[in-house]
Amino acid sequence: MIPRNWRTHGRRFWLRIDSAAGGLAADLGLYAASAVFAAVTAATSTLLPHRAWGTVATAGYLVATLVVVGQIIARRRGHTRLTSTAARAALTAVTWATTALLPMVWQSVERAAGRTDRAQEEVVVIEHAGIRLLDHGTPYLGPDAIRALPTGEQLLGYTPYQPGMALFGLPRGLAGDAWWTDARIWFAVATAAALVLAIVTVRGGGAGPRRSAWSADQPPPGTARDSALVRAAQLATVLPVCALTLATGGDDLPVLALCLLALALGVTRRFGAAGVVIGLAGALKLFAWPVALVLLAYAATNGRRKAASLAAGAIGLPVAALIPVQLVDSAALVENVFRFPLGHGVVTSPAQSPFPGYLIASALPAGRVIAAALLVAAGLAIAVRLLRRPPSTAATAARICGYGLLAAIALMPSTRFGYLLYPIAFLAWAPALRLGQTRSAGVADPATPTTAATGT
């Protein structure tokens, strides 16, 4: 374990960086670096949807960068209204619109007009899953049906998601090819709705820790909370790994946003609602299941009834989504949801980003077994942590989710760089969740700096 005073000093160091120039210095770095990333993507990516995204997003990030430069100048001249947290939040929303929503709609329109290079394969897969759900009662093809496909199309025959993800493909199945029936449009709608609810929930959850818990050079808790929410929202929306994902593929963003909403509901101890929300996320993708387990451990610290209330939705909804497709074709469910992600399907997943798990699996004798053993060991370590020291606040739960998923992504034999959006967002939201914790909760976050811990 890292000594507590080290954690406190590290947190103070990050606070100084994050709050420099009222948060504008970090804003400038984020938007400028994102502009460079988008420009490089537009010039060098071998994926045509990514190149198209970079072309549009570069301009959006550059405009945001120039606006922040103007805000810094205005701040030095005393124009505080232009540099307030509200102004930073407004710029975040506009930048998300220009770097994620605009390129997404543009690509959807061109795709509806006949362009076949304006969406990642995930979009096509989910739309086909929605059509199969309408026609056959299951979004999945069985192993025999996948083998019968031409070799080049077998990968697209897989739907490696939970059954609920097919719902985003229903508009295409019901109304045909139109820009608004593109699955990404509905990913964006669900993402925006969940993120707005999460922000509103955290802001309404309370004024944060008592003023005595903060050193004299820090802003009032409400101000700090809102500033932390702006940073958290930036890293869940305009960060290129999120904006690019939403514009070109998008299926991870509604899952992430629902997880963040569930954690936000945990701030106010509304565990029944949190269970429903994380259950919806779990009915979309397996990535939400570890988050549900952490939330369950958090709810248990508030009593058995709270834990049971959360478990009803967190476990009940994913199971309810699985039962119908299990009854229709159990072999197809197992092939798509379990065998394919584990590398035992008819074809191998192309997710091969060079993280440690993939390098071990591909370079060492029995490497896949070693990588799997390391992944299990990491999971057991987190399970022991949850049993011995369950999270007492939503912020601690978010940090466990962030570090746990980071370890899992690093050790999985088949993974993608894009999955990093999960741990980045969870860790970025932890400070906002901590500052939004209700005073009435009566449980202190062990990671919250206090006068005794900080020596102030």
- Closest listed residue to residue 227, CA positions, set 14, 391, 76, 9: 14
Assess whether 70 and 163 both reside in one domain.
Answer: no
Tally of domains within the chain: 2
Assess whether 124 and 96 both reside in one domain.
Answer: no
Residue 250's pLDDT is what? 87
361 lies in some domain: no
Assess whether 295 and 275 both reside in one domain.
Answer: yes
If you average pLDDT over each of 253-267, 369-383, 438-452, which comes out highest? 253-267
Distance CA 445, CA 448 (A): 5
pLDDT exceeds 50 at position 385: yes
Among 87, 117, 147, the domain boundary falls at 117
pLDDT exceeds 90 at position 103: yes
Assess whether 43 and 177 both reside in one domain.
Answer: no
Residue 188's pLDDT is what? 97
Residue 414's pLDDT is what? 73
Assess whether 269 and 308 both reside in one domain.
Answer: yes
Q: What is the widest separation between alpha-carbon atoms in the chain?
A: 70
84 lies in some domain: yes
pLDDT exceeds 80 at position 213: no
Among 117, 144, 168, the domain boundary falls at 117
Among 84, 117, 150, the domain boundary falls at 117
Residue 5's pLDDT is what? 60
> Percentage helix, strand, coil, to 5, in the chain?
75, 0, 25
449 lies in some domain: no
Q: For 416-445, b where at least 16 C-beta lie within 10 A, e where not — what string?
A: bebbbbbbbbbbbbbbbbbbbbbeebeeeb
Residues 6+ apart with CB under 8 A from 384: none
Q: Which domain holds residue 195?
A: 119-351
pLDDT exceeds 90 at position 235: yes
Q: Mean of the per-residue pLDDT values for the chain?
A: 87
Mean pLDDT throughout 323-346? 89
361-378: per-residue pLDDT in tens?
A: 777 787 778 888 888 898
Assess whether 268 and 342 both reside in one domain.
Answer: yes
392 lies in some domain: no
Residue 81's pLDDT is what? 80
| Residue 57 CA: distances (Å) to CA of 36, 239, 247, 432 | 10, 11, 10, 27
Task: Give the pair of three-digit tokens for residue 131.
Answer: 């059509």
pTM above 0.75, yes or no: yes
